[in-house]
Amino acid sequence: MHLREVLDAIYDNHLYEYFVIDREYQIVEFSDKVTHYCAEGYLHCEETDIFDVLPEFIGMQKEFEELFEGRKESFLLPYVSKEPNYYINIRVHQGRPRETLIVLLEDVTNLANLEQRSIQERNDKSLLLSQLAEKNRQLQMYNEQMQELVRQETQKNLQKQKMLELRSRQAQMGEMIGMITHQWKQPLGIISLSCSLLEVLQRKEELDDTKLLNQLKDIAKQVSYMNTTVNDFQNFFNPSKEKRTFRVRKTIEGITDLISNDYEINNIKVEISGSENIFANGYQNEYSQVILSILKNAKDAFVEKPHEDMRIIIDITTQDERSFVTIRDNAGGIPEDIIGTIFDLYMSTKEDGSGLGLNIAKSVIETNMDGKLFARNVENGVEFTIVV
Amino acid sequence: MISKKIVLIGDFSTGKTSLIRRFVDNQFSDKYLSTIGVKISRKNITLDENEIQNIIWDVEGATESKMLNASYLLGAHGTIVVADITRESSMENMKEHIDLVRSVSDKTAVVIALNKSDLLPRDEAEKILASLQKKFSDIKFVTLTSAKSSEGVTALFQELNNLIMSQ
């Protein structure tokens, strides 16, 4: 085959088309099929402005100038989509002579379609991953917001708890002062009587050393009792620092001794039964305060509706190494519709009640001491059971 | 009539093709078809009684493995950097795209389109817009767009042409 025929054969089957343009950007030469890629209406390209034929070059005068001046050898615009369904690579070279540039158009439609499918697949996957990552990020953000909310709520609850503790403490202080007042009434009366007696004896000039000493002894005894009472109350209201095993009956008797005067004045009888050798493990003073809280509620109920035979019966038993204390009164009981709510915060049947006492009592027994505190109505009264 | 080259760039699947389709043909399709290479559209607009032919380059979106081809930016008069407002990574990558535009030509007018704004609650979209306006304070026009609802699309091209003509 002659060389000319070989070149013709190559040319007929090639994928390249070309333009040659001059310094005025006019097309001076072009290949046969280049018009496939020209803008509509420019089928005869010779002596036409290249920017009209290939709008892709609009704005690129600077790049063309660089090629004409030899500051750049070529530039490439890959995968340029052309109507109807072509993709071409456009490469612009310096020509020979330099006053011309060669614009080569390479049909890369098949390659582009393959790449499009590959990119589509990759992008679809990336998009899914990206959406997943976005969802994860949002989830993490919601988690952080939730944690912040929980933190804030916990903080609020802690503050509320502190406030409750403060109010409870203040209420206890008030109770303590009230109880001390009751306990001191009798010795103060005796001291007052002794003083009056001494004064009378002195006036009558009948006060001898023996009588004086006897009266002073009596006064000192009462002062000592008052002092003991204050110390007992002080100890009782100090929170226990650590859990320890204590005798249940002795602890309860300590409470009933403290309030005995008050209950005697109000004609309320307290009966305790059960072994001395039943033990509980926990915070003794807090346990005592729970007992006191229940006894005080009973007393308040009796004061509201007094009767002839006001009685509180405390029974101490043990089962499965746990102590059971039932405190039963005959003060009339709690209305059935509210007995299920008596341990709720701020729940009180009394007009001046804080609604803290039984709530804190339940929290102390069940949260701090892993025990149980519950109540039920019994005949003519209510029965509280403490299991520790 | 003067012609101005406008290039849309950004991460893949941010809605560049849809924005152009909305602007040029006032059409929209939910179907996502990845752009390969570049596709050029034309749209004539009138600005202050001047007719301008926008040669709009819809450039293949950037991915982690394939960055934007800088040769598409050659000779651009204006660039729209497009991000998907629901995809944080596409917004994070905007700075990289803007830097590339600046490295090719510091005279190109640049605007930002936070596309797909219809997919977010209004207040959330506006919050993101405000934060990106602050972040890209050197970009004169940052806006919410939705190719789907056509929100902000005309204004986006109009504003970019204003910037181009004022340079």
AA letter at A283 = Y
Helix (H, G, I), strand (E, B) or coil at B103: helix
AA letter at A369 = M
Q: Which residues of A touch B71 (CB under 8 A)?
A: 75-78
ipTM rounded to 2 decimals: 0.90
E-strand stretches of chain A? 16-21, 27-30, 74-82, 86-94, 101-107, 244-247, 269-274, 279-282, 311-319, 322-329, 372-378, 381-387
- pLDDT of B58: 97
Whether A56 contacts chain B with CB within 8 A = yes
Instruction: Tell me the domain boundaries of chain B.
Output: 2-166
Which range has highest mean pLDDT (A237-251, A276-290, A337-351)? A276-290
Q: Which residues of B touch A112 (CB under 8 A)?
A: 36-37
Distance from CA of B136 to the nearest CA of A (A): 23
- Domains detected in chain A: 3-107 (3.30.450.20), 243-387 (3.30.565.10)
Task: Convert the pLDDT of each residue in B61-88 to its tens digit.
Answer: 998 888 899 999 999 999 999 999 999 8
Q: Are A69 and A45 in contact (CB under 8 A)?
A: no
Among the partner-chain residues A62, A63, A79, the one whose CB lies closest to the CB of B37 is: A79
- pLDDT of A296: 86
Instruction: Report the pLDDT averaged over residues B120-135.
Output: 96
For an interface test with A, the pick among B7, B8, B34, B60 (most A C-beta atoms closer than 10 Å) comes out as: B34
Instruction: Report the pLDDT averaged over residues B50-58.
Output: 94
- pLDDT of B130: 97
Q: Which residues of A touch B72 (CB under 8 A)?
A: 77
Task: Convert the pLDDT of each residue in A313-332 to its tens digit.
Answer: 999 999 988 999 999 999 99
CA dihedral B34, B39, B44, B45 (to 10 degrees): 50
For residue A91, give the chain B residue with the closest CA.
Answer: B71
Going by their DSSP bridges, the two strands A372-378 and A311-319 should be labelled as: unpaired
Q: End-to-end distance of chain A based on CA atoms, in angstroms?
A: 113
Instruction: Report the pLDDT averaged over residues A219-234.
Output: 82
Q: Which residues of A touch B14 (CB under 8 A)?
A: none
- pLDDT of A353: 62
Task: Convert the pLDDT of each residue in A244-284 to its tens digit.
Answer: 899 999 999 988 887 887 788 889 999 999 999 999 999 88
Helix (H, G, I), strand (E, B) or coil at A270: strand
pTM for this one?
0.59
Is the domain spanning B2-166 CATH 3.40.50.300? The answer is yes
A80 and B42 within 8 Å at the Cβ level: the answer is no
CA atoms within 13 A on the CB side of A76: 7
For residue B78, give the chain A residue with the closest CA.
Answer: A59
Task: Convert the pLDDT of each residue in A120-160 to its tens digit.
Answer: 998 898 888 888 888 898 899 999 999 999 999 999 989 98
Among the partner-chain residues B32, B66, B75, the one whose CB lies closest to the CB of A62 is: B75
Residue B80 CB partners (closer than 8 Å, separation 6+): B6, B7, B8, B9, B16, B19, B110, B111, B112, B113, B156, B157, B160
Q: Which residues of A touch B66 (CB under 8 A)?
A: 119
**A vs B: CB pairs below 8 A:** 86
CA distance A124 to A278: 74
User: Which DSSP letter does residue B70 get?
Assistant: G
Distance from CA of B56 to the nearest CA of A (A): 9
- pLDDT of B101: 96
Q: Which residues of B touch A124 (CB under 8 A)?
A: 32
Average pLDDT, chain A: 85
